Structure 1
Amino acid sequence: MARVHVCSVADLPPGEGRRVDTTPAIALFNVDGEFYAVADMCTHATASISEGYLEDDCSVECPIHTARFCLKTGAALCLPATEPLQTFAVSVEDGEVYVEVAQGEGA
């Protein structure tokens, strides 16, 4: 696994998300100070999850077909999605956010 620097904590306020240009692309979300990273591509259709709608239950809704995914597990929570999103480990160190990606992947 490779640790990739994504941003400073201050650069991603609570309730916000952003796309991380790694391979595969990752969507990073700040949920009340906890950071979650999932694959950025919806498993149902071609849509960027980072452009989705963050929900109060730590899930994100796809911006196109309203599929919802758990940010903690990647699980698909409702149709039309049935396949989970890949999740990535996130760490925060000295105010900086890092995501673990497979060797050979990265920014």
Structure 2
Amino acid sequence: MFNYTALDESKVEYLEIAPVSELPNGERLFVDLGDKPIVIFNIAGQLFAIGDVCTHDDGPLGDGVLEDHNIVCPRHGAEFDIRTGKVMSMPAVVDIPAYPVQVRDGVI
């Protein structure tokens, strides 16, 4: 798993997305940050954010089935770990972006 605590915080820009109450356990939240579609997941109170684009064919990924911490692309079945963005199965061979998430004062 990627260790986000190793990030240089002076080089990371956090953006306020929504109150954490808008993302209940087991749900996902779709947001566009500029030209980047992102999906944020709440799994047992832990938040994870990934790019909402499959690297296999640039199709949407966020509506895929979640199996533990892996999301399965709804188009062709590529699988990615939402904690790290690492590709877990073909047909994708390139990882997706994974972003650090934090909650401050009840806001993602």
The bucket for the TM-score relative to the shorter chain is 0.7 to 0.9
| Distance in 2 separating the partners of 1:17 and 1:48 | 14
The total of aligned residue pairs comes to 96
Residue 32 (1) aligns with residue 38 (2): no
Where does structure 1 lack aligned partners over 5 or more consecutive residues?
Answer: 98-107
Residue 43 (1) aligns with residue 55 (2): yes
Shift of 1:7: 1.5
| Distance in 1 separating the partners of 2:85 and 2:17 | 19
CA RMSD between the two structures: 1.3
Q: Which has the higher contact order (CA 8 A, sep 6+)?
A: 1
Instruction: Decide which structure has the larger Cα Rg and report it.
Output: 2
Kindly indicate whether the alpha-carbon contact (under 8 Å) linking 1:16 and 1:54 is maintained by their aligned counterparts in 2: no
Provide TM-score, normalisation by structure 1.
0.82
Query: Kindly, what percent of the aligned residue pairs are identical?
Result: 34
Provide TM-score, normalisation by structure 2.
0.81
| Distance in 2 separating the partners of 1:49 and 1:19 | 11
Where does structure 2 lack aligned partners over 5 or more consecutive residues?
Answer: 1-11
